[in-house]
Amino acid sequence: MPIKSYKDLIVWQKSMNLVTEIYKLSKTFPKSEIFGLTSQIKRSAVSIPSNIAEGSRRGSKKNFRHFLLNAYGSGAELETQLDIAEERQFA
C-alpha cells in the first residue's frame, strides 16, 4: 500500500496514540508539577508526531531524515522524563 501522507505511517499513528496516553497519565501528576514535568512530558510527546509530519512535508529525503531523528530524540527525552516521574512516584 503506497504512502500518500504521513498519516499513513504506522509510526505517526502510534505516536499519536502515545500522545493520548501521555495526556491521560499526566492528569494523575501532582498539581505542583503542572508547569514543570507535566508540561515538559506533554511537549516531548507532542513533538514526536509533529516532527514526523513536518519532516514529511519538507520535500527531500534528507530533510525527512533530519526530522525523523528529531522525533527519535524527543522519544528519548520523553523516556527520561517518564523515568523521572516514576522515580518521583508520580506514575
Q: pLDDT by residue (tens digit) across 37-73? A: 999 999 999 999 999 999 999 989 999 999 999 999 9
The answer for residues whose C-beta is within 8 angstroms of residue 4's C-beta and 6 or more apart is none
Instruction: State the CB neighbour count (10 A cutoff) for residue 6.
Output: 17
Number of H helices, E strands in the chain: 3, 0
pTM score, two decimals? 0.93
Look at residue 3 in the predicted model and tell me its pLDDT. 74
The answer for residues whose C-beta is within 8 angstroms of residue 91's C-beta and 6 or more apart is 25, 28, 29, 82, 85
> Above 80 in pLDDT, residue 91?
no
Query: What's the rounded Cα separation, in Å, for the pair 78 and 40?
Result: 8
> Above 80 in pLDDT, residue 5?
yes
| Residue 4 pLDDT class (50, 70, 90 cuts) | confident
Domains of the chain, with CATH numbers?
Answer: 26-87 (1.20.1440.60)
